[in-house]
Amino acid sequence: MTYLDAASGENLHPAAREVMLAALDEGWADPARLYREGRRARLLLDNAREVVAAHLPARPDEVVFTASGTQALHLGVLGGLGGRRRAGDRLVTSAVEHSAVLQAGALHVRAGGRHDTVGVDAAGSLDLDALAAALAVGEVGLLAVQSANHEVGTVQPLEAVLATSAEAGVPLLVDAAQSLGRMPVPTGWSMLTGSAHKWGGPAGVGVLAIRRRTRFTSPLPADERGGGVVPGFENVAGALAAAAALQARAGEAADLDARHRPLVDRIRREVPRLVPDVQVVGHPTQRLAHLVTFSCLYADGEALLTALAERDLAVSSGSSCTASTLRPSHVLEAMGVLTHGNLRVSLARDTSAADVDRLLEVLPEVVATVRSHLGADRL
């Protein structure tokens, strides 16, 4: 299998595997207990928090581990709004946020709150003038903007977003799931989230960082664990493995960027040349190094996925958040670009030039076959 869906998650980093196996033996006890095994587990958990905090950067006591990146976003949105009820009930987000943010916003609206989305341009970049206007209306409880888009790779202008939110006095939640371990995130945010399996950590571990001065009221029942944010027994081994993977990924970031960017540039250049009626989407330069998305006119995304999988090529299609239904991507719709026959290719740490060669060799035939089955070759 040629795996080209790293944006959905990568296999466990060797550094994380080694740490996780050791932690399963050493950190199995309840970290809330005072006996020897419990104190050992607490030390391991605290170490994981310190390592992750150093890469955000944040204070260790500002970091909690969640069950997933999705849960981190749910808690961040709902908890941030809950802590600022007196300031206002308006949630402001970009129109291209992860579905976890949009679903939390929908829940907020059902509870009587308001949710306003700010548009993006055809490259997926946030409209800064529209953002400033949305915040100027007032009564904003929270602003949520991703560091980089999970579907098209466009990096958002966070420095400008941070300045705008600070001027308006509105806390900013940054979804950094796709950028953590690959590129630095500007400081000044109020909350930040991440997902360990995006950087080679274990699935089922998310990160939520909350600045100490940020008003936050957890929407979950009260619990003495997880800083009062995330109730329940902590996943010590998972947290340690996530921290080890993030540290390793950050150390590899420059090398991965240097290897991935030329490969993605080649895909962006060659796919339109090899396949007619294709639109490559996302910002051409202000983007993640490892991710590229393109849409094939007169082709069905699910059929393309199936045909590529039959040839042992693993890619993604449609909205990355709702791939099981392959509904039209809300990200592509917000950008006003082609949504038909959409494919997302994202490179893993071990992706080679030969893997990209194979994709470019197989793709033209696959698209032509799918279009033929749909009768597009007779148009």
Catalytic residues: 321
Q: What is the 3-state secondary structure (H, E, C) of the chain?
A: CEECEHHHCCCCCHHHHHHHHHHHHHCCCCCCCCCHHHHHHHHHHHHHHHHHHHCCCCCHHHEEEECCHHHHHHHHHHHHHHCCCCCCCEEEEECCCCHHHHHHHHHHHHCCCEEEEECECCCCCECHHHHHHHHHCCCEEEEEEECECCCCCEECCHHHHHHHHHHHCCCEEEECCCCCCCCCCCCCCCEEEEEHHHCCCCCCCEEEEECCCCCCCCCCCCCCCHHHCCCCCCCHHHHHHHHHHHHHHHHHHHHHHHHHHHHHHHHHHHHHHHCCCEEEECCCCCECCCEEEEEECCCCHHHHHHHHHHCCEECEECCCCCCCCCCCCHHHHHHCCCCCCEEEEECCCCCCHHHHHHHHHHHHHHHHHHHHHCCHHHC
